[in-house]
């Protein structure tokens, strides 16, 4: 785009005779561009530059534009006598703008495809169609002058601009296509390809004010739709993936720009004011006002003055959603529905964006895990396992908590899904232990035992996940991102485990004790419990058929969870296969699943939060905060230890905006690691500390991780208690990992 001041003046002078908003009799030199910009009607909220504001709000008078073009052509003919006859025939002698365009296009199609037709035939046919497209032609010429810095005048744009001519040929072909003259439309497409190198299907739809910067190599499919004021560069492809039929091509919305050599595939939307960087491969929708780049394309920024309205509105809705979930003016699911409806009704999010997370595999893993819990309860297997735990270490409730914590720590390195561990194994056991002690969810009796066990297991799980490289998916992602930034971690599994050993063991040791004080259970000492549990096991007798099937199903799921990466079976697929086995065998009925309301409620509110969080990241809100922090730290000129502590703290705190640990890592880990490295923090120390924090913030809220949704959804802990205890443990974990961890890292030589 042209520079906003001097080039704007050039364009303004060139178009002084065009816009009815200004007095054509006023001397050109007397026109003040800034003052003129201030007098035009209010532009769309998303427009941000003077050129966009002029283009979006000034209303060209087609007759005055035509007179301007004729005068430009006369001046060019006088300056270039050798072209005078051509300029006279193409422009000066024509009765109207549409007639001039028809003449130029008719002579442009010279029969190079082997099927020459008299230009007069083309002229008559084209002129008839173009008479109905005058407004589009005017807007397209304005777009060329506004956005192509090489354009000298409207006349030169009409006569020589290949992109403008290609677009008008497409408009004619599209009109023929709509009238049923499809052979004629396809012939124009063929001639357009031969003459200008652009292959645009006649059925493709274009709005007004579109700029094709250079037509060479542009390929646009049948079902593509390009809205108003879009810019397309050379070698842009808007095509299909080859997998779909029907409506299979992209939709590019107002003011979007797709740079050279970019490929956009599938029935996806490029949002208003979005930017696709050169050479990108876009396979997923691009949100309004964001910039994407790469193959496949990922978000690299936000158009600062363009996306702000949508971004800050969504942030306000997100914060209000969290506040409502904590204060509970309505039930959790109802409040989430109110929030997502607000986002859609205010056009902050499209319907597809608002509900995009309902296909998230982690969320469905959580839902299926709830159904496993129902199977444990229905078959009696949960009660049997609970009694076995009580018999082994049930002399005190604190002993139960430690037994569960040790069990998860032992299982974690082989089972890298925290959600699967929580929903498939430990929550069903905790539920059975609680019910055996007459501690029921969503009732005052939850405090007898269930609340304590849930909080102890939930808060302790972050240390189990941080202890082993293979204990959580985000751990491996952290190491991959670190290696891409040049941080080489020798023997990653051993180095990770060694560095985490001291702080993680301290965390596993003190967390149940702290929870015992904060969420003290009514049932504490149970010296008779082991004997009673053994008696109960004797009364239950051997395992029933349903118990054996339930146990076999869970063992099979665990095997697939452990070996999933090697076998190519995702965790959610393993869980779904297990649920299918329970349904087919009759252990669970579909009605049992439908009646398990906690699963469906969690599906809804968690998916809403994950969707909003993802859009906040896509709109650049998270990056904005991260960049602001980085800028202040650079300005403060602090030493690396201070930068190390502050960046870890900010990275931790920003998780309140995320509903996924992996999403947080993907969005911010590399940026924060780069800031640490720039400040002089030792590479391995920086990479590992941020990775450990990526586990610790999973217990801050009820939506911050998959296991958080599982433990909260069980119904033993209120939202207020989740946030209260989560806030307390933020400080405790910071103390453990910041003091014990820092001392241990010094001992092992990380710095």
Task: Count the domains in the chain.
Answer: 2
Q: What is the maximum alpha-carbon separation in the chain?
A: 111
Residue 55 lies in a domain: yes
Domain boundary residue, one of 306, 341, 371: 306
User: What does the pLDDT read at residue 308?
Assistant: 59
CA 720 to chain centre: 29
Q: Which token pair is 151?
A: 């354009």
Q: Is residue 694 included in any domain, yes or no? A: no
The sheet with strand 237-239 has its strands ordered as: 199-200, 219-220, 237-239, 263-265, 281-282
The distance of Cα 187 from the centroid of its chain, to the nearest Å, equals 41
Q: What is the pTM of this model?
A: 0.54
Tens of pLDDT, residue by residue over 199-245, are 999 999 999 999 999 999 999 999 999 999 999 999 999 999 887 77
| The domain boundary residue, chosen from 306, 333, 357 | 306
- The Cα 611–Cα 362 span in angstroms is 13
Report the candidate in 182, 123, 143, 108 with the shortest Cα–Cα distance to residue 11. Answer: 143
pLDDT of residue 188: 87
Q: Is residue 234 part of a domain?
A: yes
pLDDT digits (tens, 9 = 90+) for 571-602: 788 889 999 999 999 999 999 999 888 789 87
Helix axes 97-108, 119-130, angle to 10 degrees: 140
660 lies in some domain: no
- Cα distance between residue 237 and residue 154, in whole Å: 28
Model pLDDT, residue 52: 52
Alpha carbons 657 and 217: distance in angstroms, whole number: 42
Give 410-423 as a DSSP string.
HHGGG---HHHIII
CATH at residue 277: 2.160.10.10
Residue 9 phi/psi, 5-degree rounding, is -65, -40
Blockwise average pLDDT, block size 10, the chain, 751 residues: 37 40 34 34 38 50 85 88 88 89 81 48 75 87 88 88 92 90 88 90 94 94 94 95 83 94 94 91 86 82 60 86 78 89 87 84 80 81 74 81 86 74 84 86 92 94 90 81 82 90 96 95 78 80 91 85 79 89 94 87 83 77 70 77 91 85 79 84 94 94 88 91 93 95 95 90
H helical segments located in 272-331: 308-327
Residue 523 lies in a domain: no
Q: What is the DSSP letter of 117?
A: -
Boundary of a domain, candidates 306, 324, 348: 306
SS (H, E, C) 169-196: HHHHHHHHHHCCCHHHHHHHHHHHHHHH
| Long-range CB contact pairs, 541-546, < 8 A, 24+ | 543/381, 543/384, 544/379, 544/380, 546/378, 546/379, 546/380, 546/381, 546/585, 546/587
Take residue 128 and report the two structure tokens written for it.
């008839």
Contact (CB, 8 A) for 246 and 266? no
Sign for the CA dihedral angle at 60, 63, 66, 72 comes to negative
pLDDT of 540: 84
- Would residue 444 count as lying in a domain? no
Domain span holding position 54: 6-59
C-alpha distances in angstroms, 583 versus 120, 371, 587, 594? 73, 10, 6, 12
Could you tell me if residue 233 is inside a domain?
yes
- Residue 158: Cβ-neighbour burial (10 angstroms; 0-12, 13-18, 19+): buried
Nearest to 17 by CA among 72, 56, 57: 72
Find the angle CA(96)-CA(53)-CA(158) to the nearest 5 degrees.
Answer: 25
Domain membership flag for residue 104: no
């Amino acid at each position: 785009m042209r520079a906003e001041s001097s080039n704007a003046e050039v364009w303004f002078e060139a178009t002084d005779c065009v816009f009815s908003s200004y007095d054509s009799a006023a001397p050109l030199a007397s026109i003040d561009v800034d003052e003129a910009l201030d007098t035009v009607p209010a532009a769309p909220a998303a427009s941000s530059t003077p050129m966009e504001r002029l283009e979006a709000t000034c209303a060209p008078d087609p007759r005055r534009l035509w007179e301007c073009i004729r005068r430009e052509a006369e001046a060019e003919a006088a300056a270039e006598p050798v072209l005078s006859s051509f300029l006279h025939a193409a422009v000066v002698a024509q009765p109207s703008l549409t007639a001039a365009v028809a003449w130029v296009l008719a002579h442009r199609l010279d029969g190079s495809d082997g099927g020459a037709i008299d230009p007069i035939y083309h002229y008559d046919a084209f002129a008839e169609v173009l008479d109905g497209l005058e407004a589009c032609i005017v807007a397209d010429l304005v777009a060329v002058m506004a956005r192509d810095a090489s354009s000298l005048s409207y006349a030169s744009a009409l006569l020589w601009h290949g992109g403008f001519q290609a677009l008008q040929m497409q408009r004619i072909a599209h009109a023929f296509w709509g009238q049923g003259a499809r052979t004629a439309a396809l012939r124009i497409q063929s001639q357009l390809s031969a003459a200008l190198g652009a292959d645009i299907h006649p059925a493709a739809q274009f709005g007004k004010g579109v700029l094709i910067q250079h037509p060479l190599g542009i390929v646009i499919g049948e079902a593509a739709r390009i809205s108003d004021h879009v810019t397309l560069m050379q070698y842009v492809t808007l095509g299909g993936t080859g997998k779909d039929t029907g409506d299979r091509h992209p939709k590019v919305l107002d003011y979007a720009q797709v740079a050279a050599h970019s490929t956009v595939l599938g029935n996806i939307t490029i949002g208003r004011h979005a930017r696709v960087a050169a050479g990108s491969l876009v396979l997923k929708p691009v949100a309004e006002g964001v910039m994407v780049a790469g193959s496949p394309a990922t978000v690299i920024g936000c158009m600062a003055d363009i996306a702000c309205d949508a971004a800050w509105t969504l942030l306000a809705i997100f914060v209000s959603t969290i506040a409502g979930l904590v204060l509970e003016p309505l039930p959790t699911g109802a409040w989430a529905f109110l929030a997502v409806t607000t986002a859609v009704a205010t056009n902050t999010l499209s319907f597809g964006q608002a509900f995009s997370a309902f296909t998230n595999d982690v969320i469905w893993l959580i839902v299926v895990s709830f159904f496993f819990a129902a199977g444990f309860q229905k078959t009696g297997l949960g009660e049997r396992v609970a009694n076995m735990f009580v018999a082994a270490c049930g002399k005190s409730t604190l002993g139960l908590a430690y037994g569960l914590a040790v069990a998860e720590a032992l299982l974690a390195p082989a089972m890298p899904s925290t959600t699967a561990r929580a929903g498939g194994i430990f929550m069903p056991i905790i539920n059975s232990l609680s019910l055996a002690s007459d501690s029921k969810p969503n009732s005052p009796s939850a405090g007898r035992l269930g609340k304590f066990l849930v909080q102890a297991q939930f808060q302790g799980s972050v240390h189990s996940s941080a202890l082993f490289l293979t204990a959580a998916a985000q751990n491996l992602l952290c190491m991959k991102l670190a290696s891409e930034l040049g941080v080489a971690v020798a023997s990653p599994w051993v180095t990770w485990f060694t560095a985490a050993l001291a702080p993680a063991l301290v965390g596993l040791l003190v967390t149940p004790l702290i929870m015992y004080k904060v969420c003290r259970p009514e049932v504490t000492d149970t010296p008779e419990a082991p004997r009673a549990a053994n008696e109960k096991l004797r009364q239950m007798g051997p395992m029933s058929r349903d118990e054996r099937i339930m146990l076999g199903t869970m063992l099979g799921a665990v095997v697939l969870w452990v070996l999933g990466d090697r076998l190519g079976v995702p965790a959610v697929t393993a869980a779904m296969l297990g649920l299918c086995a329970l349904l087919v065998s009759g252990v669970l009925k579909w009605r049992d699943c439908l009646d398990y309301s906690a699963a469906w409620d969690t599906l809804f509110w968690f998916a809403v939060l994950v969707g909003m969080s993802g859009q906040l990241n896509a709109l650049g809100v998270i990056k904005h905060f991260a960049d602001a922090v980085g800028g202040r730290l650079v300005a403060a000129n602090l030493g690396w230890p201070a930068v190390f502590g502050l960046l870890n703290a900010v990275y931790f705190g920003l998780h309140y905006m995320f509903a996924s640990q992996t999403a947080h890592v993907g969005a911010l880990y590399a940026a924060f690691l780069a800031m640490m490295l720039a400040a002089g923090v030792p590479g391995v120390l920086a990479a590992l500390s941020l990775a450990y924090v990526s586990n610790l913030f999973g217990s801050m809220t009820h939506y911050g991780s998959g296991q958080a949704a599982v433990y909260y959804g069980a119904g033993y802990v209120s939202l207020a208690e989740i946030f209260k205890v989560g806030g307390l443990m933020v400080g405790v974990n910071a103390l453990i990992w910041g003091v014990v961890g820092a001392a241990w890292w010094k001992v092992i030589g990380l710095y």
